[in-house]
Every structure is written in C-alpha cells, then in structure tokens.
Structure 1
Amino acid sequence: MPAETYGLVSLLPAFLAIVLTLATRQVLMSLFAGIWIGSTILVGWNPIAGAARSLQFVIANVTDSFNSTILLFTFLIGAMLGMVFLSGGMSALANRIASRIKTRRQAEIGTSLLGMLIFVDSYASTMITGSVMRPITDKFDISREKLAYLLDSTTAPTASIAVVSTWLGFEVGLIKQQFDAVGVQADPFVVFLQSIPFRFYSLLALALVFVVVLAGWDFGPMQRAERRARDEGKLVGDDSTPLIETQEDDIETPDHVDPRWWYFAAPIVALVAVTAFGLFYSGGILEGRSVVDSLSNAATGKAILWGAFAGCATILAILAGHARIDLDDVDDSIFEGFKMVMFPIAILSLAWSIGAVSQALGVGAYVSGVAEGIITPTILPMIIFLSAMIISFSIGTSWGTMSILFPVAVPLAASLSAPFDITIAAILTGSLFGDHCSPISDTTVLSSMFAASDHVDHVNTQIPYALLAGSIATVLFLAAGMGMNVWAVLVGGVIVLVLGAYVLSEHLTVPKVAFFDS
C-alpha cells in the first residue's frame, strides 16, 4: 500500500509513543509500542507480523551507515568522558569556573554561552556542556530540568546556523539538491546565509534563553521545578529518574594524581579541532575546492567520528604519559563511560526506528499534502513552518524533517515564485521545534541525559518555552510572507517574546500539576 494512502493514520505511531511516554514515563517501551503499531499497520494489521517487522525496522536503523556512525561517536564520547572523570580534569576545570561564578544567574549564563561556544556539533556540545556545567549548576541549586532546557535550547539552534558545523554540509547539500532539481541558478551557500535572519524560531529560542536567565522569568512547570530546587534543595523531583547512570563521582581519581584543568581542555580541543579539520578534508579542500564547497560536500559522520577518536586518544595519552594512571583503571573508566551512554543509545535507536516507521506510513506526504491545499504565496512560509513543526514533533528528528520537506517545499516555492530564502528558513528552523520538545527526539534525549534530568520532566518543562517561541515565529513568518522587512519583523518578535515571557512568568504558575503528569 503506498505510503500516501494511510492519511491520518500515519500520525498514530508517533502519537501513541508520545502519549505513552508522557503518561507512563517508560520511554523505551513507549517507543517500541509506537514502532509496533506502525509496523502492524504496514503489514495489514497483523500484530504478529507487525512485531517481526518492528525488529526489522530497528535492525535497519541501527545498521544504517550514518546512524551506526552516530552510535559509535556516542560510545567514543562516553569513553572519553569516562577517562576525563578518571583524570579529575573535569573537577579541576569546574573548580576554576566555579571560583569565578558567584550566583545562580552567572551559572546559567555560563552554561548557555558554553553551549553556544561549542558550535561545531550539537551532540558534542550537549555532552560536553552538560558534563562540565552540571556540578556547577548543582552547587547553585539549579534544577536539572533548567539545565536540560539550557542545553537543548542553545546547542542545536547555534549549530544549525553556524557557518562551520556538522549541520552546514547537510543543510547546504539539501538546498543544492533541490536547486538542481528545479533548475534554480543560485549559490546554495549564499541562500543559506540569506536564510539566517529568517530563522525566526531558532533565533527566538536562543533569545528566550537569555531573557529567562537574565530576568529570572521562569514559567509553567519549570517555575515549580526551580522553586523546588531553590527552596528545598531537590535538583530532581521525588518521583523522577535521572536519565544517566554514571557520573563523575562514580569514577575515583587515584590519590597520586594532581588533577589539572587542561586534562579536560586538551581532549575537547582535539575533538573540536579534528572535527573541523575533518569537515574540510572530507569535503575536498586539499583538492582545490573552496571553503564553502568543502563544507557543503563534507562527510559529517566521518568528521565527528575522527574528532571523538582524537579526543579519546588525547586523554588516553595524558592518563598514561602525564598522570601515570594504571591501565587497568583506565580500562575500567572506559567501561563506565560506555555504561553512561547505553540507555540513551537504546533510545536513539528506537527514536530513529519510529521516525522511519512514520516516514514509511507517509506522515510527511500527508502533512505536506494537507498544507498544499491551502497555500498561497503569502502564507507559504507560515504553512511550511507549521508543517515542519508537526512533522519534527511526530518523527523526532530535525534532519529527517528537512529531508521530507525540501523535495516538497522548494519546488512549490518555485512554482509560486516565492522567495527561496524565507521558504528554506521555514524548513530549517521549523525542523528544530521537534528537537526541543518531542519526547522521541534524539537531542531531547541527550539533553536529558547529560543534564541528569528525568526525561519526561525535561519535556514537560521545555514545552511551554518551545510553544511560546514557536507561536511568535508563526506570526513572524506570516509577516515576512507579506513582504515586511525582516529586521523589523525580528525586532518586533523579540519585543513580543519579552512581553510574553513576562506575562507567563507572572500568570502561568503550576503549584501542583505539570502539562503531563503520570
């Protein structure tokens, strides 16, 4: 049965997984339930055959070349962090940072800035920033939910608009592919740059972080979480289960080691430097290609894998050569690092699988088809943005959403003579919405993990912030589609964002219940 004939039913797997996750707090079982119901639909509603098809989906996604690279990258990051914990370098760096941070606000600002500073890759940024800043935010009784929000709302939005990141090659590659398909004579990288001012959701999400941090305007379930952490000293709720098993305290630094801050900094510098080099090298810069062409053609999976391996090799050399730690202890720390990432890897595997199931059912074609029926050039950007929000929330992956929408939206924009910069911005920034608040999103999972937050609690507290930024961005895309100046629109959006955060912080209080309570 062709995917496009499933219609509204194509939303069922994601809907079931999301509802079960929020209701039961059992992420793995909920994700598999969504995969199973989607697979059962695909095989003609035979539940036994559906179970077998579910396993095929999981195997196919785990063994996919790019996905397996991400899984290996995650394992290597876990190993690197385990060795860094053993070296005591993270504690040494945290102590240096903590000596300069005197208030909760400074701790939150430091977390946000570090998340933006490591812009080369959103996964690496989430893992590193969370690991470094968690002991510091704990010191100032900042809730784990707040830390997860700061990680989730600074890493991917920054990486998605950075001109040197693992996202750039993928995004520019999609633009080039569709420009070639419809015969558009324009430089894909230039259009990418032109789209940045129109990335309303990404820019508002970043702005909202600093509005909330600087003004202290928490709202929704986050307000309750912060009040609990500040007044009771409880970083997580009584019924919460932090999404992490191994922490720095679980790996003891040998007594003879004098921890240095550069034990942590050196592998991180190696990770970032080798990843950046890998992007340019794999893109063919040594073959005479320009910087732009190199980034556009870069093998992002290989680049981050090289970077993670370089980080591991660097900290291993430090442990063996400078800290002179026994290799048996090093081996144990690597194993503990692997344990740290096992659960998130399981969730990532199932999240990819349910995304594949939803795509096989034609959720993208269905949402896009519904949208096409009401599109005019003026409302095209807004409709595309809303479609990207729905699809990304349903399948839990921004890159998957981009892959679905580009072949639909760019030709449609060409046929309607609509501006490509606004259209492309609507796809790229709308795809981030699901990253921020879908419980089946890989980056949402990683933010929960490296903040050591309960996953459902993170989703509960993040949703109001994502909805505020998303609602304002929707209006801004309508205004931009009407031809209003982008900078005037953006300034107006920030003003409304500030007012909205203030009003919600004063009036949206939740003393007893969250958006989704189990």
Structure 2
Amino acid sequence: MPAETHGVISLLPALFAIVLTLASRQVLLSLFTGIWIGATILVGWNPIGGAAYSLQLVINNVTESFNSKLLLFTFLSGAMLGMIFLSGGMNALAQRIIARIKTRKQAALGTSVLGMLIFVDSYASTMITGSVMRPITDKFDISREKLAYLLDSTTSPVVSVAVVSTWVGFEVGLIREQFASLGIDQSAFVVFLQSIPFRFYSLLAVALVFILVVMDWDFGPMQRAERRAKEEGKVLGDDADPLIETREEDIVTPDYVDSRWWYFAAPIVTLVAVTGFGLLYSGGWPGQVPVEALKDAATADAILWGVFSACALLLAILVGHARVELEAVSDAIFEGFKMVMFPVAVLSLAWTIGSVSEALGVGPFVVSVAQGVITPELLPAVVFLAAAIISFSIGTSWGTMGIMFPVAVPLAYQLGAPLPGAIGAILTGSLFGDHCSPISDTTVLSSMFAGADHVDHVNTQIPYAVLCGAVATGLFLASGYGVGSLALLGIGVVALFALAYYLSQHADVSVPNVFGSSSD
C-alpha cells in the first residue's frame, strides 16, 4: 500500500459525515464532525489539535481561488434571484409557460429538456432550470425531491459529454497530459469523442429520467414523495428544511410594477451568453480554436462574469424600466443573500471534508485495492467502481478524475486495454459517485435551486443512481470482453426499462427510508 495513504481509515471521515448527515439530518454539524475526525487523525490523534486544524482547513478551502469564486457566484446568484423575485419576471414567464403546459408529465418533461439544453455549464444549468421550472412544477404538484432529481440527472450527465462545455476542456486536458507522459501519439479530443459511447452511467442516467417521466413511474422514497405531492398537494415533506427559502412574502413585487416575462428572460440569456463568451475568451479565443480555448478556459471566472452581468442588467431593468426604488432593490438583494447562506456553509464544509479525505489518501487506498484484482477484461468495471467510491468519498467529480487519470490510464496502456473504455469508465464513474454523495457540490446546488430538503434529495436520488450504476457495471464487465459499446447501450436501456417497471410496479412503497425522511 502506498505510503501516502492511511489505509481503510482514510474512508472514515467522509463515511461518518455521510451516515450522520442522513441519519440526523443535521448537515452542518455532521460535516464538521467528519472534518474534525479527519483532522484529528492528520495531527496524530490529538482531538484538541484536530479542532484547531479543522478551522484552518475550512479557511484554506474557502479561500482557495476556484472555491472562493464559486462562493461569490452563489452569493451573486442569490442577489440575482432576489431581484428577479422583486421584478415579478419569473412569475410572468411562468404564467406564459403554464398556459402551454397542461399536465404534470409536460411539466416534468419541460424541466428535463431545459436541463439538457443548457449544456454549457452544470452550475448555470442547475440554477437556470431550477429557477424557471420550480414555480411550474409546484403548480402541477411535482415534489421538490423529483425536481431536484431532474436537475441533478439532466445537467451534469449532459454537460460531461457535451463537446462545448466547461467540462470538455478539463477532460481533454487530463487525457492529453497522460498521452504526453506515456508517449501516445493520438489526438486527445478524438479519444474524448471515442469515450462518449462508454459513458454508460451518464447516458443511462439521462435515459432513466425520460423513462420515468414518460411512463409516469417512480419507486422507493421518490414514489412516496410523489404520492404525497399528488394526493396531498405537498411539494415538501412536513418536516422538510429546504436549502433555499423562496417564500413569496419575503420579497414582494410592488403593486405599481407591470411585470414582464423578459425581466427574467433577459438576465438569463445574458448569463448564458456572457458565460459562453467568457469561457472562450479566458481560454485564448479568438487566437485559439474553440476546442483549444475551452481546454484552457477559466471556468470559475466565466460563470462569475456571467452572473455579475446578469445582476447588472437586472439592476438597470428594475431602476430604469420598472421604476423600482433603490431601497427596495437593496432589500431584495439582501434577502437573496439570506437565501443562499446555508448552501454556502454546506459547500464550504463539503469542500473541506473532501480535502481531508484526499489528505488521508482515500484515492491511493482505493486504487491500491483495485489494482489487486485488475485484469484487462475487468479493468473497465473496476476503474468505474473505484472512481465511484472515490467520488462518493470526496464529493467531487473533477477531483476524482484528477486522482484516477494518472493511475488508470497508464495501467490500461500497460495491460493493452482499450483506452476509450478506460477513460469513459473514469469520467462516468466519477459522476456516479458524485450523484450518490450528499457532500457533492452539484448535489447541494440541485437541492438549493429546487428548493428541496437536501437529505430528502439524497434519499430519493440514491436508488435511481444505484440502479443506473448497477446496470452500467454490468455493461463495463461486458465491454471488457469485447462487446461493442453501442450494442451495450441498447441492452442497458432495455434492462433499465425492465428494472424500472418492476421496481415501480412491484416494490413495496411502504418500506421506510433507510436514513429517515421529512415525509415519514
């Protein structure tokens, strides 16, 4: 076992925090307890020293450049939402959409399609889709848990395979780095494209969304949540504590404001356009071709420029067109900040416990265990599961990719295993673990912009993610023995359909959540 890992103990902080979070529903306390346990181990099992080191670790993670920019993005998102609520633009647009959406199924399909269409960035897609569709799904009594699941499963999975997104540059860059170190004379971007059919989990996660929505199926905790919403009109459980509060009485549109649908649409279009331009510009465009520019893009800067531009436009609309007083605008911005305070705290602690797990060597430990059972045939499945475990433990897809690429790609090359399959297993396994982890930033943001209780979102999503992950594992096993990826995808979709039918029609909905739920 590599010297840089603490062995199986490296799993303890994250697992303790996750189990305590799901069991007690006290997210912040649970996360900090996990951080303290990990810090105590790192300082030589001194609990007092561990407490002091825990605080320093939080400071280190909050002040890290990318993280601080994402926190500022979150605060500005809150300010933007506050001003949107003040303008009444979201309600005006929602009324126009509601006039065309007649059923729950159409509302769910609209959410899923919108989440896929905004494929430039997963954070922006989650924020926009959740903000637009939340009042609409509420209108049709779709549970907030279901909305959070739709956001989580149609944003990151799509963005991760899109050829123009904030993810593609990072992924291609990792591939290119390994090819350079191994002396492989292949195009990193071409291999990236070749890996897409092997992203079994990502593609199946999107397929399951549409299977469940079109067939009106649900199972497990989600089935209970949807029955509660349909039969009782409760989009949230009785004891739910949504990550973001969006009560209408917090921010009231002045009576004299004639709300227009474009009060909401114009800032959102600005957000997407400036983010897209920022990605290209920060990567060196027009001096570089778009693909190369995306590889070098400053993702955090681009989304920050986008949301700031949207806020500036909203301010101009409110003051210049809607004639709202600056005091009312300032109050709305402050209320928006209050909406995102809890998610900011969760993100800060989630990043910290992820860094603690990395410092303890969870990645090398999982990889060392996996290497003991790897053969060329088993490599895709083992890499997929190893990436999922690491991602679940540290709560970040990108961090997992950074851990797995320097180990799995050289190993696949030495064993003679197909590189697109191994690379696809890393990229989609990272997403699988991320979807199951309550300390994942994308999971937190999905809960936030759906206005859902975070623990309820995790409880209801895990069965769906595990179903896709189990089918994907079987497909990776078959791919290791030479079965074509496209044929396997077809088999996987059929298997997913059959299993979803069985679980929705025959699973006992009365079985309680393993970790408890606000709707129990």
In the superposition, the TM-score normalised over structure 2's length comes to 0.97
Percent identity of equivalent pairs: 72
Q: Which moved more, 1:21-30 or 1:308-317?
A: 308-317
Q: Could you tell me how far apart the structure 2 residues matched to 1:180 and 1:247 are? A: 53
Q: Could you tell me how far apart the structure 2 residues matched to 1:353 and 1:43 are? A: 16
| Deviation per residue, 1:218-262 (Å, 9 max, x gap) | 001111111111111121222222222244552111111111111
Per-residue deviation at 1:120?
1.2
Determine the structure 1 residue equivalent to 2:350.
351
Alignment of 1:41-60 (within 5 A): 41-60=41-60
Alignment of 1:32-431 (within 5 A): 32-287=32-287, 289-431=288-430
Per-residue deviation at 1:282?
1.1
| Deviation per residue, 1:76-105 (Å, 9 max, x gap) | 111111111111110011001111111010
Contact 1:17 1:34 in 2 (8 A): yes
Per-residue deviation at 1:133?
1.0
| Deviation per residue, 1:430-466 (Å, 9 max, x gap) | 1111221211111111111211111111111111100
Q: Which amino acid aligns with 2:137?
A: T
Q: Could you tell me how far apart the structure 1 residues matched to 2:214 and 2:402 are? A: 36
Per-residue deviation at 1:193?
1.2
SS of 1:100's equivalent in the other structure is: coil
Q: Could you tell me how far apart the structure 2 residues matched to 1:348 and 1:125 are? A: 18
State the number of aligned residues: 517
Per-residue deviation at 1:512?
5.0
Determine the structure 2 residue equivalent to 1:489.
488
Q: Which moved more, 1:380-389 or 1:1-10?
A: 1-10
Contact 1:219 1:508 in 2 (8 A): yes
| Deviation per residue, 1:125-164 (Å, 9 max, x gap) | 1112111111111111111111111111111111111112
SS of 2:452's equivalent in the other structure is: coil
Contact 2:246 2:451 in 1 (8 A): no
Determine the structure 2 residue equivalent to 1:22.
22
Contact 1:3 1:361 in 2 (8 A): no
Moved over 3 A (4+): 1-5, 246-249
Q: Could you tell me how far apart the structure 2 residues matched to 1:335 and 1:49 are? A: 37
Query: Could you list the runs of 5+ residues in structure 1 that have no partner in the other structure?
Result: none
| Deviation per residue, 1:274-297 (Å, 9 max, x gap) | 11111111111222x112111111
Contact 1:126 1:155 in 2 (8 A): yes
Per-residue deviation at 1:217?
1.2
Q: Could you tell me how far apart the structure 2 residues matched to 1:5 and 1:382 are? A: 23
Q: Could you tell me how far apart the structure 2 residues matched to 1:37 and 1:3 are? A: 20
Determine the structure 1 residue equivalent to 2:478.
479
Per-residue deviation at 1:182?
1.5
Contact 1:164 1:276 in 2 (8 A): no
Determine the structure 2 residue equivalent to 1:503.
502
Q: Could you tell me how far apart the structure 2 residues matched to 1:38 and 1:484 are? A: 42
Determine the structure 1 residue equivalent to 2:452.
453
Contact 1:119 1:158 in 2 (8 A): yes
Per-residue deviation at 1:492?
0.4
Contact 1:134 1:451 in 2 (8 A): yes
Contact 1:219 1:505 in 2 (8 A): yes
Q: Could you tell me how far apart the structure 2 residues matched to 1:513 and 1:52 are? A: 39
| Deviation per residue, 1:108-137 (Å, 9 max, x gap) | 001111111111111111112111111111
Q: Could you tell me how far apart the structure 1 residues matched to 2:323 and 2:2 are? A: 61
SS of 1:250's equivalent in the other structure is: coil
Q: Which amino acid aligns with 1:271?
A: L
Q: Which amino acid aligns with 1:80?
A: M
Q: Could you tell me how far apart the structure 2 residues matched to 1:305 and 1:168 are? A: 19
| Deviation per residue, 1:142-197 (Å, 9 max, x gap) | 11111111111111111111112111221111111222222221211111111111
Q: Could you tell me how far apart the structure 1 residues matched to 2:389 and 2:422 are? A: 16
Q: Which amino acid aligns with 2:379?
A: L
Determine the structure 2 residue equivalent to 1:436.
435
Q: Could you tell me how far apart the structure 2 residues matched to 1:212 and 1:195 are? A: 26
Contact 1:224 1:509 in 2 (8 A): no
SS of 1:284's equivalent in the other structure is: coil
Contact 2:40 2:47 in 1 (8 A): yes
Q: Could you tell me how far apart the structure 2 residues matched to 1:455 and 1:21 are? A: 10
Contact 1:246 1:339 in 2 (8 A): no
Q: Could you tell me how far apart the structure 2 residues matched to 1:2 and 1:489 are? A: 36
Q: Which amino acid aligns with 2:115?
A: G
Q: Which amino acid aligns with 1:441?
A: S
Q: Could you tell me how far apart the structure 1 residues matched to 2:299 and 2:449 are? A: 22
Q: Could you tell me how far apart the structure 2 residues matched to 1:480 and 1:140 are? A: 42
Contact 1:75 1:341 in 2 (8 A): yes
Distance change in 2, residues 1:510/1:97 (3 Å): same
Q: Which amino acid aligns with 1:374?
A: V
SS of 2:483's equivalent in the other structure is: coil
Query: Could you list the runs of 5+ residues in structure 2 that have no partner in the other structure?
Result: none
SS of 1:119's equivalent in the other structure is: coil
SS of 1:4's equivalent in the other structure is: coil
Q: Could you tell me how far apart the structure 2 residues matched to 1:241 and 1:282 are? A: 38
Q: Could you tell me how far apart the structure 2 residues matched to 1:434 and 1:94 are? A: 34
SS of 2:345's equivalent in the other structure is: helix
In the superposition, the TM-score normalised over structure 1's length comes to 0.98
SS of 2:99's equivalent in the other structure is: helix
Q: Which amino acid aligns with 2:365?
A: Y
Q: Could you tell me how far apart the structure 2 residues matched to 1:293 and 1:510 are? A: 50
Contact 1:160 1:168 in 2 (8 A): yes
Q: Could you tell me how far apart the structure 2 residues matched to 1:317 and 1:169 are? A: 34
Contact 1:221 1:509 in 2 (8 A): no
Contact 2:222 2:460 in 1 (8 A): yes
Q: Could you tell me how far apart the structure 2 residues matched to 1:98 and 1:399 are? A: 37
SS of 1:285's equivalent in the other structure is: coil
Determine the structure 1 residue equivalent to 2:516.
517
